[in-house]
Protein backbone atom coordinates (compact mmCIF):
# COMPACT_ATOMS: atom_id res chain seq x y z
CA UNK A 1 0.00 0.00 0.00
CA UNK A 2 1.35 3.42 -0.96
CA UNK A 3 1.66 6.22 1.55
CA UNK A 4 1.19 9.78 0.30
CA UNK A 5 1.47 13.16 1.92
CA UNK A 6 -1.24 15.30 0.37
CA UNK A 7 -1.48 19.03 0.60
CA UNK A 8 -4.60 21.12 1.01
CA UNK A 9 -4.68 21.94 -2.71
CA UNK A 10 -5.47 18.28 -3.43
CA UNK A 11 -8.12 17.87 -0.73
CA UNK A 12 -9.91 21.09 -1.74
CA UNK A 13 -10.51 19.61 -5.18
CA UNK A 14 -12.68 16.94 -3.59
CA UNK A 15 -15.26 19.63 -2.88
CA UNK A 16 -14.85 22.67 -5.12
CA UNK A 17 -17.07 22.96 -8.20
CA UNK A 18 -15.60 21.12 -11.19
CA UNK A 19 -16.33 24.02 -13.55
CA UNK A 20 -13.80 26.19 -11.72
CA UNK A 21 -11.18 23.59 -10.86
CA UNK A 22 -8.71 21.64 -12.97
CA UNK A 23 -7.53 18.18 -11.83
CA UNK A 24 -10.79 17.24 -10.11
CA UNK A 25 -10.79 13.75 -11.63
CA UNK A 26 -7.23 13.06 -10.47
CA UNK A 27 -8.00 14.27 -6.94
CA UNK A 28 -11.17 12.18 -6.75
CA UNK A 29 -9.31 9.13 -8.05
CA UNK A 30 -6.81 9.51 -5.22
CA UNK A 31 -9.65 9.88 -2.71
CA UNK A 32 -11.28 6.73 -4.07
CA UNK A 33 -8.01 4.85 -3.60
CA UNK A 34 -7.90 6.08 -0.02
CA UNK A 35 -11.54 5.13 0.63
CA UNK A 36 -10.91 1.63 -0.76
CA UNK A 37 -7.76 1.18 1.30
CA UNK A 38 -5.38 1.09 -1.66
CA UNK A 39 -3.45 4.16 -0.47
CA UNK A 40 -2.90 5.93 2.82
CA UNK A 41 -2.70 9.68 3.39
CA UNK A 42 -0.89 11.67 6.06
CA UNK A 43 -0.74 15.45 6.52
CA UNK A 44 1.11 17.99 8.63
CA UNK A 45 -1.11 19.96 11.01
CA UNK A 46 -0.73 23.01 8.75
CA UNK A 47 -2.97 21.16 6.27
CA UNK A 48 -6.07 21.98 8.31
CA UNK A 49 -5.47 25.74 8.36
CA UNK A 50 -4.65 25.79 4.66
CA UNK A 51 -7.65 23.64 3.78
CA UNK A 52 -9.96 25.91 5.73
CA UNK A 53 -8.42 28.98 4.12
CA UNK A 54 -8.89 27.60 0.59
CA UNK A 55 -12.56 26.99 1.36
CA UNK A 56 -12.94 30.44 2.96
CA UNK A 57 -11.55 32.01 -0.23
CA UNK A 58 -13.93 29.92 -2.33
CA UNK A 59 -16.87 31.23 -0.28
CA UNK A 60 -15.64 34.83 -0.62
CA UNK A 61 -15.28 34.37 -4.39
CA UNK A 62 -18.74 32.85 -4.71
CA UNK A 63 -17.43 29.44 -5.82
CA UNK A 64 -19.29 27.66 -3.02
CA UNK A 65 -21.60 28.44 -0.15
CA UNK A 66 -20.59 28.72 3.47
CA UNK A 67 -22.67 25.64 4.20
CA UNK A 68 -20.90 23.64 1.51
CA UNK A 69 -17.51 24.74 2.88
CA UNK A 70 -18.50 23.77 6.42
CA UNK A 71 -19.71 20.40 5.15
CA UNK A 72 -16.39 19.91 3.31
CA UNK A 73 -14.45 20.58 6.51
CA UNK A 74 -16.63 18.16 8.45
CA UNK A 75 -16.33 15.47 5.76
CA UNK A 76 -12.56 15.80 5.63
CA UNK A 77 -12.26 15.72 9.41
CA UNK A 78 -14.39 12.56 9.45
CA UNK A 79 -11.72 10.80 7.38
CA UNK A 80 -9.41 11.11 10.39
CA UNK A 81 -6.32 11.77 8.32
CA UNK A 82 -3.21 11.04 10.37
CA UNK A 83 -1.80 14.45 11.25
CA UNK A 84 1.79 15.19 12.24
CA UNK A 85 2.69 18.26 14.34
CA UNK A 86 4.61 20.89 12.38
CA UNK A 87 6.85 21.34 15.41
CA UNK A 88 8.55 18.02 14.61
CA UNK A 89 9.17 19.07 10.99
CA UNK A 90 10.09 22.74 11.20
CA UNK A 91 13.90 22.39 11.22
CA UNK A 92 13.90 20.13 8.18
CA UNK A 93 11.26 22.31 6.51
CA UNK A 94 13.38 25.40 7.08
CA UNK A 95 16.42 23.68 5.56
CA UNK A 96 14.38 22.67 2.49
CA UNK A 97 12.94 26.17 2.17
CA UNK A 98 16.36 27.79 2.42
CA UNK A 99 17.98 25.35 0.00
CA UNK A 100 15.29 25.43 -2.69
CA UNK A 101 13.85 28.94 -2.18
CA UNK A 102 10.37 27.68 -1.28
CA UNK A 103 8.13 28.74 1.61
CA UNK A 104 8.43 27.01 4.95
CA UNK A 105 4.70 26.33 4.66
CA UNK A 106 5.17 24.26 1.50
CA UNK A 107 8.37 22.77 2.85
CA UNK A 108 6.53 21.32 5.87
CA UNK A 109 4.69 18.99 3.50
CA UNK A 110 7.93 18.10 1.74
CA UNK A 111 9.73 17.48 5.04
CA UNK A 112 6.96 15.12 6.11
CA UNK A 113 7.24 13.21 2.84
CA UNK A 114 11.01 12.92 3.25
CA UNK A 115 10.67 11.86 6.87
CA UNK A 116 8.13 9.13 6.06
CA UNK A 117 9.81 8.04 2.82
CA UNK A 118 6.56 8.90 1.10
CA UNK A 119 5.68 11.15 -1.80
CA UNK A 120 4.02 14.54 -1.57
CA UNK A 121 1.16 14.95 -4.03
CA UNK A 122 0.29 18.57 -4.77
CA UNK A 123 -1.92 20.43 -7.21
CA UNK A 124 0.65 23.26 -7.10
CA UNK A 125 2.43 22.69 -10.41
CA UNK A 126 5.07 25.35 -9.70
CA UNK A 127 6.01 23.67 -6.43
CA UNK A 128 6.21 20.27 -8.07
CA UNK A 129 8.29 21.59 -10.96
CA UNK A 130 10.70 23.32 -8.59
CA UNK A 131 11.30 20.30 -6.36
CA UNK A 132 10.48 17.06 -8.18
CA UNK A 133 14.02 16.56 -9.46
CA UNK A 134 15.44 16.77 -5.93
CA UNK A 135 12.76 15.66 -3.49
CA UNK A 136 9.74 13.30 -3.37
CA UNK A 137 7.20 15.73 -4.81
CA UNK A 138 4.74 14.91 -7.58
CA UNK A 139 2.20 17.11 -9.35
CA UNK A 140 -1.38 15.85 -9.14
CA UNK A 141 -1.72 16.20 -12.91
CA UNK A 142 0.92 13.52 -13.45
CA UNK A 143 -0.47 10.98 -11.00
Residue 96 lies in a domain: no
Orientation of helix 104-116 relative to helix 46-60, angle to 10°: 130
Residue 107 lies in a domain: no
CB 80 within 8 A of CB 41: no
CATH of the domain at 55: 3.40.50
pLDDT (0 to 100) of residue 143: 87
Question: What is the C-alpha to C-alpha distance for residues 105 and 101, in angstroms, rounded to an integer?
Answer: 12
Residue 110 lies in a domain: no
96 to 76, 107, 114, 140: CA distances (angstroms) = 28, 6, 10, 21
Residue 42 lies in a domain: yes
Per-residue pLDDT of the chain (143 residues; tens, 9 = 90+): 799 999 999 999 999 987 778 999 999 999 999 999 999 999 999 999 999 999 999 999 999 999 999 999 999 999 999 999 999 999 999 999 999 999 999 999 999 999 999 999 999 999 999 999 999 999 999 98
pLDDT (0 to 100) of residue 17: 84
Residue 57 lies in a domain: yes
Residue 98 lies in a domain: no
Question: What is the C-alpha to C-alpha distance for residues 3 and 141, in angstroms, rounded to an integer?
Answer: 18
Q: What's the domain count of the chain? A: 1
CB 138 within 8 A of CB 5: no
pLDDT (0 to 100) of residue 60: 98
Structural domain harbouring 128 = 2-83+119-142
pLDDT (0 to 100) of residue 41: 98
Single pTM value for the model: 0.94
CB 72 within 8 A of CB 52: no
Question: What is the C-alpha to C-alpha distance for residues 96 and 112, in angstroms, rounded to an integer?
Answer: 11
pLDDT (0 to 100) of residue 3: 97
Amino acid sequence: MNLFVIDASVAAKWFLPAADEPLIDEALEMLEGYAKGRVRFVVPDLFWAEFGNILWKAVRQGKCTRGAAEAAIAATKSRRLPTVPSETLVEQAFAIAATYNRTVYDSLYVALAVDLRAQLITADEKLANALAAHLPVKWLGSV
